[in-house]
Structure 1
Amino acid sequence: MGTEVGQAPAWRRAARLFTAPARPGEVGPLRWDLGFYLACLAFALPTALVAEFYGYRVWGNFATVAYGFGAAHSGYLLLSARRGRAPRGLLGSRWCGIAAVALLAMIIPLALLVIRRLTGVDWLITPGSWAAQPEVWVIERSADLLLRHGTPYVDVTALDRAPEVNDYTPYGPVMTVFGLPRALFGGTPLTNALTDARWMFALAAVACVLGTLKLLKWPKVPVGAAQLAVACPLTALTWAVAGPDLAIVGLLVLSCALAATGRVAWSGLVLALVVSAKLIVAPAAAVLAVLVLVRRGRGLDWAALGRFAAALVATTAAVHLPVYLVDPAAFVEHVFRFPLGMGVVRSPAASPLPGHLIAETGPLGQVAAFALVGAAAVAMVVWLVRRPPANGSAALLRIAVGLGALILLTPATRYGYLVYPLVLLGAHLAFRVAEVPAAPPAQQSSPTSS
């Protein structure tokens, strides 16, 4: 069994395209940029025209402009490189397209949708009028329920009407934290706008990015990494209309950075918060545990693994037990039964991904889909045992692949969850740059006398 600090040759060759800067006259990275923005544009334009949700259409209009600019700018840089010219200033930088996406497809749509939300149409069964996706309202409501009743979960069997999907809070107790500002300070148009949960998700995501970069000693982030993690449509769309997945994946990357830099107890604590917000990322615990165990490369570090596991278990218990004891049945119904499709109301989560399409073929298809999930889990375990990750980038690659397989093969899932592997792959590329040892300074030869 050997630890892996690099990647398979094929992935390493592909990674160079993402991480290498475009040198004068070099067109490879610029071709990637052009293809990336054209693919993003192909997603944004139909979203603007035919999306079911109001927020999606608003985002699509702004994103079409942003990705269109990115494609045009990349084409300009590509033509300039072929002609042997090197544009100067901001327009000569590959970061120009990412800046356009951040402004036009993330910040401005979010601000406009927060203001539009003050019209109060969230809870109507009219997706064409929603300025925020249901998860935003549900998380804010869960915080209000926690303050009033000590639990964010309602007993759906005790309602004076038939329960419906939006009665559920299919998240762990930690997710409620993002709704607390609105529950505590909302009530007026101004405070409602300032405490929209999407701002809290965005702030948490940004804080996690800054914390991770600090732990990695501020590496020079490759443009390709930023494109995958920040500028891709799933990230930008999630930022504007929902946001919880970005906060969760940000915390997950931070936990990995803590583990990779030897802060194993803090890593376990942060990972416990991640899992206690959304169970979909629970498989990451196995990868980070292996990273902690083998990170030093001088034998297995069982003491570090013990500190990591103790922090993970203790924090998880401290977060869950108080809420569970208030209403155990409601806790299990919301957090476990509903996401698994076993609740009083069936989860509507479904996207035309392979697992869902296979399961829809009938009973045999459902068995086949779960068999594929099991096979993927076994393959991940074999990968971890045979090639345990010895650094953060290797761990992130495994988490990205594992979560990607889970999302693609699980019968009840959403395509928006693919934001997890995309962000993790972008973070993987940034970690790779940070892990490259610095070149030793050139030694100056001492003058000799003749």
Structure 2
Amino acid sequence: MGAIATTPRISVSDAVLYGLSAAFALITAFTSTLPPHRAWGSIAWWGYAAAFLITLVVLRRLLLTALVFVAVTLAPLITQAVQRAGGRTDRAQEEVLVVEQMGRRLLDTGTPYLDRPDIAALPLSERLLGYSPYQPGMSIFGLPRAVFGSFWWTDARVWFAVATVVAMLWTLRLLADLVAPPGLVLVAQSVAVLPICTLTLTTGGDDLPVVSLALLAMAFTARHRWTAAGLAIGLAGALKLFALPVALVLLALAFFVSRRTLAFAAGAFGLPLLVMLPALAVAPSAFVENVLRFPAGHGLVTSPAQSPLPGQLIASSTGAGRTIALSLLALAGIAIGVWLLRRPPRSTQAAALVVTVGLTAAIMLIPSTRFGYLLYPAAFAALWWALRTSDSLSDPTSLSDPTSPSSPTSLSTPTSPSAAPSPGGHGSVSGGASSGGPESEAPSSDGREPPDPGATPSGHQAASSDDPAPEPGGALSGAADRGPGSETASSDGREPDSEGAPSGEVGCGPDSEGVPSGEVGREPGSGTAPAGGRWPGPSPAA
């Protein structure tokens, strides 16, 4: 696995990104109604502004991305965590408190959820925080504060950031030699620089580990590591249901290009189910109330996710608006399903595009939604764009399992008995394929029949009449008898490169690239191919 590649050239797009991000952070610092958002903007805009100025200096883009992440995410995050540990109550979003309470409840009761009667018993102002609309695995980020107390380093956001950084570094490592450096930087920027991500991680943060693990799963599929991909997306699904659509698309990808579908599914769906079992065993009604009823709008209080996107606007417009929005969401899901059936993804790039479109449609049509959720399709769109530059992944068969019978690498070159030389012949028919494939007996590309084996083709040297004739049952055409020091054919039917020409063949000049076995040599520096217009044997792409 190669090292992460970078490019020293700063593109204009970097300057635009950092400049607009600085403006966004500055506006947020002065106009946001949420204190944690204003605190983030007052610090982050300095980092974005510095990055904008640095774009005028030659610096590696990936290094600049890392520096920006430290300046606009880690610095304000740690600042808010320290202030919160010192007594400030306006330095964290509600989701941070919810996740930390999940960890505490898990230790106290064995389940991170409160049941409906327990939530109803809370004061009206505290009922919203009584709901935990996440998967049970999210409670792990609340355990440090539940175990060690209120310190800056036990803040759930700190551990969100740790998980995000680890997953993203692993993702970039896997993609390093699969995509061009600009694409690699784009994937990193989609999580580490985009304000919708940096603001979310600084003030709330629970979505960033999920999207980072989902990107890691995508990167594993690009490496044909289906079990690891299943575990990565399974971990994301154990945190939040947003990972489920991604898992379904990757399941379709695994089904159509690999034999490892079950290995992928075991991690992708088995791991979230395994994490659910303790919560379902202790209080199944509490799990349903928090994870299903509350997000669907049937809780004791209304979800604060009310950004004015189409789904929310339709739901609030009329009495039947919620039903209309959910119906449109179902139709969008059916359309994505038809897409997967009629044109299933056969590469990681294609899967990333399906996920991007599907999540965008879902976020737009969900009745209870937030602008911040758009960080999911933004990250997958960046991955899709990055993979467009990779020839190996844009090929529809690029993800075929090497062990699959339909994989090009598993096919052996057929050998025709008719390709064997006659007892009195030397070498092979000019233009014949050394592998004995179909081309060996076909006419040349101009429609003429191959020349008589005994004739001396123009431009080729005739074999000496003193050369011994091959014995019947000996080597096939294209694999003439070799001298004592010659090499044998490789297992895939192709001849190994050798400095000397096999016995019965005329070698090439010092500047030539060598002649395929069974062909008479060319003049040094000649660009003339054998009759038939192509060299025999497997193509370089095979």
Normalising by structure 1, we get a TM-score of: 0.79
1:62 paired residue number = 43
Distance 1:416 1:286 in 2: 23
Contact 1:248 1:277 in 2 (8 A): yes
Contact 1:133 1:241 in 2 (8 A): yes
Change (3 A) 1:234 1:446: farther
Which of 368, 388, 391 is matched with 2:347 structurally?
Answer: 391
Residue 385 of structure 1, CA deviation: 2.3
AA aligned opposite 1:101: V
Change (3 A) 1:221 1:241: farther
AA aligned opposite 1:182: R
2:144 paired residue number = 181
Structure scoring higher RCO (CA < 8 A, sep ≥ 6) equals: 1
Distance 2:334 2:299 in 1: 28
Which of 128, 138, 150 is matched with 2:98 structurally?
Answer: 138
Distance 2:355 2:233 in 1: 13
Structure 2, gaps ≥5 residues long: 394-498, 500-508, 513-523, 526-542
Residue 415 of structure 1, CA deviation: 0.9
Describe the superposition over 1:226-252 as per-residue Cα deviations: whole angstroms up to 9, x where unpaired: 333321101111221121111011111
1:208 paired residue number = 167
Question: Which one is further off, 404-413 or 100-109?
Answer: 100-109
Q: Counterparts of 1:187-202 in structure 2 under 5 Å?
A: 187=149, 192-202=151-161
Distance 2:67 2:201 in 1: 15
Which of 68, 71, 77 is matched with 1:104 structurally?
Answer: 71
Describe the superposition over 1:131-155 as per-residue Cα deviations: whole angstroms up to 9, x where unpaired: 1111112111111111111000122
Q: Counterparts of 1:169-318 in structure 2 under 5 Å?
A: 169-184=132-147, 186-187=148-149, 192-218=151-177, 221-222=181-182, 223-296=185-258, 301=259, 304-318=260-274
SS in 2 for 1:279: coil
AA aligned opposite 1:421: P
AA aligned opposite 1:172: Q
Structure with a larger share of its residues in helix = 1
1:47 paired residue number = 28
Change (3 A) 1:347 1:38: same
Structure 1, gaps ≥5 residues long: 1-18, 77-86, 123-129, 438-443
Contact 2:172 2:188 in 1 (8 A): no
Change (3 A) 1:290 1:206: same
Contact 1:173 1:277 in 2 (8 A): yes
Change (3 A) 1:308 1:215: same
Which of 388, 400, 409 is matched with 2:365 structurally?
Answer: 409
Contact 2:238 2:271 in 1 (8 A): no
Change (3 A) 1:370 1:429: same
SS in 2 for 1:278: coil
Describe the superposition over 1:312-333 as per-residue Cα deviations: whole angstroms up to 9, x where unpaired: 3432332111111101111110
Change (3 A) 1:342 1:102: same
2:468 paired residue number = none
Change (3 A) 1:433 1:182: farther
Question: Which one is further off, 37-46 or 169-178?
Answer: 37-46
Task: Tell me the C-alpha RMSD between the 2 structures.
Answer: 2.9
Distance 1:135 1:42 in 2: 26
1:82 paired residue number = none
Contact 1:229 1:424 in 2 (8 A): no
SS in 1 for 2:317: coil
Question: Which one is further off, 287-296 or 109-118?
Answer: 287-296
Change (3 A) 1:218 1:194: farther
1:36 paired residue number = 17
AA aligned opposite 1:325: A
AA aligned opposite 2:228: W
Describe the superposition over 1:58-109 as per-residue Cα deviations: whole angstroms up to 9, x where unpaired: 21122222333344455x4xxxxxxxxxx6x43xx55575345323211210
Contact 1:396 1:424 in 2 (8 A): yes
Distance 1:240 1:433 in 2: 32
Residue 378 of structure 1, CA deviation: 2.3
1:161 paired residue number = 122
1:441 paired residue number = none
Aligned-pair identity (%): 38
2:85 paired residue number = 118
Distance 1:224 1:216 in 2: 12
Normalising by structure 2, we get a TM-score of: 0.66
Contact 1:216 1:431 in 2 (8 A): no
AA aligned opposite 2:113: Y
